[in-house]
């Protein structure tokens, strides 16, 4: 196959768009793990819920942007409800129990969605203003992919500002370090955890909602994504937002180029990348020493 620079650039953009979804998904996973010490095995399920909430909201109101906001808000609330009613009971037990509870939820919810929406995939349309592509010289730039990359950059910037500059972000960072001390300072840590969990779930839902027009929206679309989000945080280093971002972008490029050159290997390449990074740098790219 002739590899012109146009094709290469095109694959880079495709990879960036795919990477953007990984980044959104994995940063949510990373926040939840860092703060709550809970490995959210239902992360892909919330991603799927985001896509379905998006579909429902758009079919009700007809506007892509309203649908996007509605999807994130609705799914975060579902996540918050789950945290307050069920997950909260298991804090302070062995790490395995919250993990298994999330796993159970991840089996439970897709079946509910199958009952409510059926097995056949739903189609979410691209918004009118982001359909098609723009041309720069010979280069075809699909507008929606560009939008994804911009959205990811904005979300990361917002997250950075939120975590570093606002007081609640400061409390979240402090609680990630030492929950007991933050509690001693008179801050209701349990509420901070709920906020952190909802933030993480909201990011997963956002990933699902923006991915919905590009992929098939089916009840089991989240299964693979849970595993892929794990791979991203293992590459980046668990609990590090920067790591999740870099890991997601790397993985996006790997998948994009391997699908072009050796399509059979595209799924395997994800895990080979992870294995390679684990051999070279066991704690992940930005992983902190001792946090394993």
Partner 1 sequence: MSAKQKTQETTSYKPYSWQAILEFRAMWVVLALGLVLPFVISKPLATEIMVYALFALAFNLLLGHTGIISFGHAGYLGAGAYAGAMVVYYGGVGVWVSLLAAMAGGTLVAVLIGLLAVKRKGAYFAMISLAIAQMLYFLALSPFKRWTDGEDSLKLPPLSVDFPFHIDLSDQLSLYYFVFVIVALAVLAQWRILSSPFGHALKGIRENEDRIRACGFDITRIKFLSIIYSGLFSGLAGGLLAIYLGAASITILFWMTSGIVVMQTVLGGTHTFMGPFIGTAVFLYLRNNISNYTDRWEMWVGAMFMALILLFPEGIWGTIVQKIGERRRPSAS
Residue 61 binds partner 1 (CB under 8 A): no
Residue 39 binds partner 1 (CB under 8 A): yes
Rounded to a whole number of angstroms, the minimum distance from the CB of residue 213 to partner 1 is 25
**Selected binder of partner 1 within 23, 109, 182, 189 (CB under 8 A):** 109
Q: Which is nearer to partner 1, 55 or 82 (CB)?
A: 82
Query: Residue 135 is inside which H or E element, if any?
Result: strand 133-136
Strands 133-136 and 139-142: antiparallel
The encoded tokens of residue 9 equal 């650039």
Instruction: Please name the residues in contact with 18: beta carbons below 8 A apart, sequence gap of 6 or more.
Output: 251, 252, 255, 256
Q: Which is nearer to partner 1, 23 or 210 (CB)?
A: 23
Helices 189-211 & 5-36 angle (0-180, nearest 10): 160
Q: Which region among 4-12, 128-136, 226-234, 248-256 touches partner 1 (by CB under 8 A)?
A: 226-234
Give SS3 for 141: strand
Q: How many CA atoms lie within 13 A of 282 on its CB side?
A: 4
**Selected binder of partner 1 within 62, 104, 118, 132 (CB under 8 A):** 104
**Selected binder of partner 1 within 231, 244, 250, 258 (CB under 8 A):** 231
Sign of the C-alpha dihedral, residues 209, 211, 212, 213? positive
**Selected binder of partner 1 within 230, 240, 248, 286 (CB under 8 A):** 230
Rounded to a whole number of angstroms, the minimum distance from the CB of residue 98 to partner 1 is 9
Q: Which is nearer to partner 1, 165 or 177 (CB)?
A: 177
Read off the DSSP letter of residue 119. Answer: S
Are 130 and 60 in contact by the 8 Å Cβ rule? The answer is: no
Q: Which region among 61-69, 90-98, 121-129, 141-149 touches partner 1 (by CB under 8 A)?
A: 90-98
**Selected binder of partner 1 within 12, 77, 99, 130 (CB under 8 A):** 99
69: closest CA among 78, 58, 59? 58
Residue 206 CA: distances (Å) to CA of 136, 160, 171, 213: 29, 17, 24, 12
**Selected binder of partner 1 within 111, 116, 118, 120 (CB under 8 A):** 111
Are 241 and 31 in contact by the 8 Å Cβ rule? The answer is: yes
Residue 112 binds partner 1 (CB under 8 A): yes
Residue 48 binds partner 1 (CB under 8 A): no
Residue 187 CA: distances (Å) to CA of 39, 159, 183, 190, 196: 24, 21, 5, 9, 14
Size of the site for partner 1 (CB under 8 A): 49
Q: Which of residues 167-196 bind partner 1 (CB under 8 A)?
A: 179
Q: Which region among 91-99, 128-136, 144-152, 181-189 touches partner 1 (by CB under 8 A)?
A: 91-99
**Selected binder of partner 1 within 105, 175, 206, 285 (CB under 8 A):** 105
Q: Which residues bind partner 1 (CB under 8 A)?
A: 33, 37, 39, 86, 89-90, 92-97, 99-101, 103-112, 114-115, 179, 223, 227, 230-231, 233-234, 238, 264-265, 267-268, 270-272, 274-275, 278-279, 282, 291-292
């Amino acid at each position: 196959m002739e590899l012109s620079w146009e094709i290469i650039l095109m694959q880079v953009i495709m990879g960036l768009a795919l990477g953007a979804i990984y980044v959104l998904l994995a940063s949510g996973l990373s926040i939840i793990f860092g703060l709550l010490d809970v490995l959210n095995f239902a992360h892909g399920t919330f991603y799927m819920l985001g896509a379905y909430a998006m579909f429902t909201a758009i079919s009700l109101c007809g506007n892509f942007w309203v649908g996007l906001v509605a999807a994130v808000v609705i799914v975060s609330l579902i996540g918050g409800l789950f945290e307050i009613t069920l997950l909260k009971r298991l804090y302070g037990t062995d790490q395995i129990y919250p993990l298994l509870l999330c796993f159970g939820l991840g089996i439970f919810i897709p079946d509910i969605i199958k009952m409510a929406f059926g097995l056949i995939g739903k189609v979410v349309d691209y918004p009118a203003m982001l359909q098609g592509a723009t041309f720069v010289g010979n280069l075809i730039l699909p507008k929606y992919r560009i939008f994804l990359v911009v959205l990811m950059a904005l979300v990361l910037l917002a997250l950075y500002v939120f975590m570093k500059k606002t007081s609640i972000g400061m409390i979240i960072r402090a609680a990630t370090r030492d929950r007991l001390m933050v509690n001693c300072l008179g801050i209701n840590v349990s509420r901070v955890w709920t906020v952190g969990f909802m933030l993480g779930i909201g990011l997963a839902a956002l990933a699902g909602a923006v991915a919905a027009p590009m992929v098939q929206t089916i009840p089991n679309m989240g299964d693979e994504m849970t595993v892929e989000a794990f791979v991203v945080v293992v590459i980046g280093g668990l609990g590090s937002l920067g790591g999740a971002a870099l890991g997601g972008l790397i993985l996006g490029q790997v998948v994009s180029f391997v699908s072009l050159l050796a399509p059979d290997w595209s799924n395997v390449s994800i895990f080979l990348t992870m294995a390679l990074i684990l051999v070279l740098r066991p704690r992940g790219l930005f992983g902190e020493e001792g946090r394993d």
